[in-house]
Structure 1
Amino acid sequence: MAVSTVTAYVGPECGSVMGLLLLGRRSAGKSSVGDLILGRSEFEHGKTTTRCVRRFGWVDGVRLAVVDTPGWSLFGLTNGQQVKQEILRSVMLAPSGCQLFLLVIPVDSFSKRDGRAIEKYLSVLGEAVWSHALVLFTWGDELRGNDIEKHIEKTGEPLQKILRKCGHRYHVVNNKCPEDYTQVTELLNILKRMSASTG
């Protein structure tokens, strides 16, 4: 069952909640990204997420509902059908009028297998999901000062294809530096612009 339509965030002045759904493979850093965005420890680390977890918070004047989802395995070690079901359930946990999808990808690793897995698991949400999706690169410290655009070019076509499907929307965060909150403010600004353009 595919979700054929995804509606957009309309702004805090309307009393809306911005729903952020964190999607990605296992150990991509989804739980730590959720904590980073909310500015506090809300999601469990060091343990495989098996069910969607939703947490709320106010960030920069915006009410957020952050949904952490189970990650998929690139090697068939997890129940793929269960992960798909949880991805579908994540949409039901997020506010119906304002869902944005953050594809959490470690900046230091991406392969053809990663690209195929992203397309496979997001397919349960329908093609509309891509117009509401952004690639969120985690572990930004691994760039070691290198330019993200050059990194994307060097990584090659599998990653570039995913970015094209997302309208070339992406952001980089350093999970190890939660005190640098400007990275979250910048992310929220991007997400607000996305909402305005897709609404």
Structure 2
Amino acid sequence: MTENTQIKLFGFRISNASAVIVFFLVLILLVDHFYEFYYFFFSISFLVEEFQQWIVQPFSLRQFMWWVTFLSPLALMLLGFYILIKCFRARKLDRKAEDIDKRWFGLKLNRISVIVLGIISIIRIVSILTSLLSQLDRLLYGPPVPPTFYSLTVVRIVGRLILVLVCTYTLLVCIRANSSLKSNI
């Protein structure tokens, strides 16, 4: 592999196939934790209240752990977006294969990335559908809960449905790319 078909991510050079796999894994991680980002951005009032208490009261380990727990979704989101942007740059590096059947979000697919993405997509679709069924069961037939639980559950369900759509699209692209790769042999 030449250096112009690789990207550098955290000091490591990775090929286009690896960039596609990393891009997919980070994308499903971000979509899977969508409800945590939703909770983070819509609970700013808690942040202001805790910050005021932290200034007035002496430092405690409980408050520090609360801040770490509260800010970890933001750190995860920023790191995820950085990795997505770096991996997305790999699509500009390899312009030789302009065959649209072998591309996924503009990134070139080869045989290894097609197999890995297909397997991960199938596993994620099955696990997400079982998770959705349990969340719907808990929402519809569970004991009465506060309204915030309902809103967070609805946001989780929407995030899971988006993830099912992304995984289904990825699986369809992998099937199409696999048949295109077989016809080139």
TM-score, with normalisation over the residues of structure 2?
0.28
| Between structures 1 and 2, the one with greater helix share | 2
| Between structures 1 and 2, the one with greater strand share | 1
TM-score, with normalisation over the residues of structure 1?
0.27
- Which structure is higher in RCO with an 8 Å CA cutoff and minimum separation 6? 2
Tell me which structure has the larger Cα radius of gyration: 2
